[in-house]
Amino acid sequence: MPPTFDFDFKFQQGFQGRYTFPTGLFINGEFVDSVDKETIDVVNPATGAVIATVSAGNEKDVDIAVQAATKAYKSSWGLKVSGLERGKLLFKLADLIERDVEEISCIEVLNVGKPYLATRHRETIGASNYIRYFAGLAGKLHGKTVEIDESIMAYTRYEPLGVVGAIIPWNFPLFLLVWKLAPALAAGNAIIIKPSEITPLTTLRLCKLFNEAGFPPGVVNVITGTGQAAGAAITKHMGIAKVSFTGSTAAGRHVMSSASSSNLKSVSLELGGKSPSLVFDDADLEQAVRWTAAGIFTNAGQMCYGGSRIYVQEGIYDKFLESFLAFVQKSKVGDPWDSSTTYGPQVSQAQMDRVLDYIDIGKKEGAVLARGGFRVGDLGYYIEPTVFTEVKQDMRIMKEEIFGPVVALAKFKNEEDVLEMANGTMYGLAAAVFTKDVTRAIKMSNELEAGTVWVNMTLRLQPSMPFGGYKESGIGHDLGEEALRSYYNLKSVHINLGGRL
């Protein structure tokens, strides 16, 4: 029998319940043990305690899942089901997530350490709305008729790829699952999902909803396990036509290499970032402080698009720094269940150690530690929001992705000066500009080498807007019609209407 998650919630907001569901592999609509019967412990980052055990799959299990997905795609999904019907199932899934919003949010908090209120309102409800966007697009991506001449009729058509794979990171397990699942299913593909072995619980909880929503068995399959075993097997499997991966740039290289050495499967890679925020003299100072703080410290800094570099124009630098430090000082790091908590823990011991190592590197390189820099308490993996000033462009904390609550501040003189610094990185995922000058805002947005640019805000994403990176921040896009298109093959058809050779 596969392992089971069993936890008794007693939450101060007024609800409680005992949540139980299987934590085996989900293949062909059923929970099963992995072939080798191996398991992985799952830890609560707020306490460091083991809260669940999940099955650990490998290439044998991935192969079984691909067989199930292939059969389902050919017999009861793909082109056999209309876009209208696929959309109905996705709308039903979104409704079920909202119905179970408390339970799903609690599981996400327990597994990832995010503050409950933000998780419920932004991520769980947000996930259901992202599904609805793609549900509405199902069946609405059309080919076109192309005029050749009187003897030839030509047209294009979109056809699903078949079986696709999705590898989900640990920082936004539910949200990023939806980003990949919804367009893949809307396009008519069957899918093999590998959640992070660190944060697999919400993905496994949703498996019950896939069945309840009415998706045919085998259309959605979940293989829990390590990246080295389950993830690598997905990237190199000859029966998988595409892999969508979110994670580090280093891991993305391995995904791309495996894809090229197997069947040249399509890849979408959303990778690392070192996003700059540009604060000009004419910015609304209070709003710039609030947005830039949220842009780096939300989710305990564990965001690929987090604004970890803040460049402030000389005329307001001192005032900005004073206000920024005072604002951050008011934040509370602690218990995710406490409604007054602003930021939760790092996701694991390893991630906490990585962030603390980078803080030591920053101090050794000569950056000024203006705030934070220490672990909070001795239970769980909490780190204070950390602010470095006087940071030079060649320092590692300015160049390398830390993926934690650490921000580097530096001054700039003018537009040319800050553009050179902002673009002087191997990454290009996101950037932010703070100014009241519309002309400057547009100019900076156009010249910043980043896939997403925010003006006078940060972090805001929309399901209708594509999200992807420049340079070593990735290939392809999540969200928007661009994401949906990436889950199709485009076929050209030429018909001879009587012309002779």
- Please give the positions annotated as active site: 270
Strands (DSSP E) contained in 289-446 are 309-313, 368-371, 375-376, 382-383, 386-389, 406-412, 427-428, 430-434
Q: Please give the radius of gyration of the chain, using alpha carbons only, rounded to the nearest integer.
A: 24
Give residues with Cβ within 8 angstroms of 270, minimum separation 6. 245, 246, 304, 429, 467, 468, 469, 473, 474, 476, 478
Q: Quick check: helix, strand or coil at residue 494?
A: strand
Q: Which two tokens stand for residue 5?
A: 């998650």
Q: How many helices (H) and strands (E) does the chain have?
A: 16, 26
β-strand partners of 455: 433
Reduced DSSP (H G I as helix, E B as strand, rest coil) percent helix, strand, coil of the chain, to 5: 40, 25, 35
Q: What is the DSSP string of 216-236?
A: PTTSEEE--S-IIIIIHHHHH
Q: Which two tokens stand for residue 219?
A: 């259309």
DSSP code at position 467: B
The whole-angstrom separation of Cα 67 and Cα 54 is: 22
Could you tell me which of 194, 201, 19, 160 has the C-alpha nearest to residue 78?
160
Is residue 274 within 8 Å of 265, Cβ to Cβ?
Answer: no
Which 3-state string (H, E, C) describes 326-345? HHHHCCCECCCCCCCCCECC
| Burial call 359-379: b when 16+ CB within 10 Å, e when fewer | beebeeeebeebbbbebbeee
The whole-angstrom separation of Cα 275 and Cα 295 is: 9
The whole-angstrom separation of Cα 201 and Cα 185 is: 21
Phi, psi (degrees; rounded to nearest 5) at 178: -65, -40
Give residues with Cβ within 8 angstroms of 427, minimum separation 6. 249, 272, 273, 274, 275, 401, 469, 471, 472, 473
Q: Which two tokens stand for residue 103?
A: 């339970």
The whole-angstrom separation of Cα 446 and Cα 6 is: 51
Provide the 10 A C-beta neighbour count for residue 126.
18
